Amino acid sequence: MDDAVEIADVEQIVRQWPAANVALVATTADGVVWASGDLDRRFPLASVTKPLVATAVLLAVEEGALALDQPAGPPGSTIRHLLAHASGLSPDSDAVLAAPGTRRIYSNRGIEVAADCLAAATGISIADYLTEGVTAPLGMHRTSLPGSPASGAVSTAADLASWVRSMLRPSVLAAETVVAATREQFVGLAGVLPGFGRQDPNPWGLGFELRGHKAPHWTGTDNSPATFGHFGQSGTFVWVDPDAGLGLVGLGDVTFDQWAVDLWPRLSDAVLALR
């Protein structure tokens, strides 16, 4: 199949995205290989905020302000537990639903607690630390964090593509940090992947959801198990497939629902075919 036909396949799937505004960009470490829509339009990211905030927390660990295994959150929990959704905290409160390290409970509150720890250790708010340490160095000048560190960032497809490239060819973080952070933490834990049901196991890295062998999943069937990223309830996603050397950003203005469950995997596979 020639390149023109493959691109036509991708664009045909994009036209099925039920949103007034959609911006997508596929990039390697060397630059954009395909894009669609207004790449400078700002979208609310919802939970796609989490990988950006995790990058800031990991940078604070590299700089010595935090340690992954320092106590944080419920008794027995650490920064590592919080980032890996293994602290036992409930999704949106300080209620403890399980002992640390025993269940994968997706927790917005856990990410917020980790961000609070960063602010306490550095004297810098998570929003400012994210800007100074991550987004400004990457030229992500249209990205900001006006809300919760679990779900409150706003960004563009072009900016997120810069972050993807920094994961494929590490720049803000050391290469060994990226490798460690995208390996499964607390191996074998089961839990619910929001929007896709219970997964056993439900692998997670340090702020990054891992593809593994989950089924169903929002990435493509051709994405490697090493793929990491996140999606958001606002109708947004970003994945990085280190085995393919490719990342994909998808931003839209229609809330996540069954349409995304059906469309995003097909779109991901079509983009992977462009390599």
For residue 66, give the CATH number of its domain.
3.40.710.10
pLDDT higher than 50, residue 146: yes
Cis peptide before 44 (omega within 30 of 0): no
Distances (CA, A) of 275 to 32, 33, 159: 12, 8, 22
Q: Encode pLDDT of 25-34 as tens digits.
A: 999 999 999 9
For 82, the token pair is 């919080």
Report how far residue 67's alpha carbon sits from residue 160's, in angstroms, rounded to the nearest whole number.
26
* Residue 225, pLDDT score: 98
Query: What residue type is 197 in one-letter code?
Result: G
Q: Encode pLDDT of 245-260 as tens digits.
A: 999 999 999 999 999 9
Average pLDDT, the chain: 97
How many structural domains compose the chain? 1
Percent of the chain with pLDDT strictly greater than 90: 97
pTM score, two decimals?
0.97
Report how far residue 222's alpha carbon sits from residue 236's, in angstroms, rounded to the nearest whole number.
20
Binning pLDDT at 50, 70 and 90, where does residue 2 land? low
From the CB of residue 222, how many other CB atoms can be counted at a distance below 10 Å?
Answer: 16
* Residue 99, pLDDT score: 98
* Residue 3, pLDDT score: 72
DSSP 204: B
Percent of the chain with pLDDT strictly greater than 70: 99
Mean pLDDT to the nearest integer, 208-234? 98
Q: Encode pLDDT of 45-60 as tens digits.
A: 999 999 999 999 999 9
pLDDT higher than 90, residue 275: no
Mean pLDDT to the nearest integer, 62-67? 98
Q: Give the domain range for residue 47.
A: 3-272
Q: Encode pLDDT of 78-105 as tens digits.
A: 999 999 999 999 999 999 999 999 999 9
For 86, the token pair is 């293994």
pLDDT higher than 60, residue 190: yes
In terms of Cα–Cα distance, which of 220, 175, 231, 181 is closest to 203? Answer: 181
Binning pLDDT at 50, 70 and 90, where does residue 1 land? very low
